[in-house]
Structure 1
Amino acid sequence: MRMSEGVEWALHCCVTLAWVGDDRPVPTARLAASFDLPPAYLNKRLQALVRAGILTSTPGARGGFRLARPPERITLMDVVAAIEGTEDAFRCTEIRRQGPGSEAPVRDFRRPCGISTAMRKAELAWRRELAQQTVADLLAGTPAAAADRARRWFTTERTGT
């Protein structure tokens, strides 16, 4: 299964916003600069997170983004669904009903084929695993030095020191 780079960017931004705290919003340009990402594209991903209720957005010169809820209430699946959508990754098109299968009786196709069943089962396991892990879990698995660096970098910009 392949996901867009927007998922990685969104997850890193959620972790960073959790580190920085929610006293003031963080501008898109500052988040983009911290990862050397294109601000316009990152902003589209951040807006998707706002629509999903993962982030809040404050407009204006002092505006930006904050987490909308605590990190332990944001799952990786929430972020993936916000960026990639909620459609199933595997789409069975029933090709077994084509070619020689087009002449088979309808009763032969009442149950899904083994391929469709296996793919749906695998996707469900993948979704369950992502739903069980939160941004808080990511924070817990990150070295304290990385969090300290991020806090210092964002605080320096905010205070102008």
Structure 2
Amino acid sequence: MKRLLTLFMALVLMVALSGSASAAGSVTQTLDKYPNANMQVLTYSWTGDASNGTVPSTATSTAITNDIAGWYVYAIETNPGTTAPTTLYDIVINDAESLDISGGMLANRSATVTEKITPRLDSTYSIFGGVLVHSVLTLVITNQTDVSATGTVKLILAK
């Protein structure tokens, strides 16, 4: 009987731990192509971790990296989801050299409204415009602590 109770407790513990492992933050990425408009939209959909709200840094897949190489990012749109993120959370989108392609324009994002920016090319003169994609891009979200928060980041690309 004691062995049966021990086995039952071990099973309950395993089930409890497997449930928390599946609650980790996540990011998915999709690429929509609009050939008639000579545009593409890369969408990162993210969910914060169920225990601490963190979102894993996520690099573009090889297929998406190959599809967007040689294109220019002209706008980036952030949209908080139905479970609102932390107010003034921050986003960077780094290239292979760890340079933020938004030029710092994705700091302090709204937790309630959709926002759109044009990448800043030069902080000295505040020049804005398209950024050439030549490598993998990595989405990094920081200062986001609301558990299970959701949102999207869309990169609008053109040639």
TM-score (normalised: structure 1): 0.24
Which structure has more RCO (C-alpha within 8 Å, separation ≥ 6)? Answer: 2
Choose 1 or 2 for highest CA Rg: 1
TM-score (normalised: structure 2): 0.24
> Which of the two has greater strand per residue?
2
